[in-house]
Amino acid sequence: MKEQVNTFLNYLAVEKGFSGNTIVAYRNDLYQLVRFVESSTKENAWENVDQQILSLFVLSLRSNGYSSTTIARKIASAKSFFSFLLEEGLILENRAQDLVSPRIGRTLPTPLSANEVNQLLGAPIKFSGREAPRDKAMLELLYATGMRVSELVSLDLSNVNLSEGYIRCSGKGSKERLIPIHEAAVEDLTFYIDTTRNDLLHNDREQALFLNRRGDRLTRQGFWLILKGYAGKVGIKSSVTPHTIRHSFATHMLQGGASLRQVQEFLGHASISTTQVYTHLTDEHLRREYDQAHPRAH
């Protein structure tokens, strides 16, 4: 059964151009389904997996304490996989199509305040040593562009145009976009490249922009730990993740007057409906501004 799953994963990678992270999520979800089918029903062919078996799988997810969001994702993975099996003629009926996903309330992101961002961006110089210029450049660049952390750590030197002030970023589905960066980010990147990166570099053939202590490309996990450490040092109480910085970038851009379409392009969202989640946050900001400014609102 895993053979068909692997064929599907290859299809997602080659034909659909899905990112590595998305492929891993599909693999985890579908391998879990394979294990359930083989261990609990003894079936070993997808054509014998009926809706009852699939419903029992969903029930097992609930009983094992999975969140509604995770269950919904696993159901979506199963539906996509069974649609693929049907299209390939490997099954005669898509028995996953009637599975019902749990209702999920859309959770609004909580951005950092401008003051918290300033504290965070100043933390490397205040608390770090040898890696301070690298960390400062990474944090400044993430907030300057709203990039995903996977996009940040995937940057090569060739993706940076400091003289023109922009970054060439490869996003989901290998779609490229150009993101302008402000002067402060340009200065921090220039200083890091001219100094600390050379100190960290062990192999002249390494093209990664951001290096770890071994001279290799910094990983997502490595950056997350760096960010978490600085957030704790400056006393930010709320949970701070790379996505928090992305949310903060989008919210602050809209509050500063950027259009929703501009922010969509910066973030690399395929649909503007994905970007519209931030309008709720901006509406709250406008409400506060109105209440403070209007003479009859007090």
Active site residue: 134, 136, 148, 197, which one? 148
Catalytic residue among 27, 168, 172, 233: 172
Structure tokens at 268: 């690399």
Long-range residue pairs from 158-163, CB within 8 A, at least 24 positions apart, any chain: 158/207, 159/209, 160/189, 160/193, 160/209, 162/186, 162/189, 162/190, 162/193
Give the full edge-to-edge strand order of the sheet including 166-170: 160-161, 166-170, 176-180
Secondary structure of residue 215 in the 3-state scheme: coil
User: Which among 189, 218, 213, 188 has a CA at the least distance from the CA of 201?
Assistant: 213
Q: Residue 28 is which amino acid? A: N
Q: Return the bridge partners of 178, or none.
A: 168
79 labelled catalytic: no
Known catalytic membership, residue 148 = yes
Which of 73, 136, 197, 246 is labelled catalytic?
Answer: 246
How far is CA 293 from its chain centroid? 37
The one catalytic residue in 16, 182, 213, 243 is 243
* Rounded Cα–Cα distance for residues 268 and 257 (Å): 19
Helix crossing, 114-127 with 242-255: angle to 10°? 130
Active site residue 298: no
Choice among 95, 134, 252, 269 that is catalytic: 269
Q: Is 278 a catalytic residue?
A: yes
Q: Is 172 annotated in the active site?
A: yes
| Active-site residue, 26 included | no
User: Contact, 276 vs 283, CB < 8 A?
Assistant: no
Residues forming the active site: 148, 172, 243, 246, 269, 278
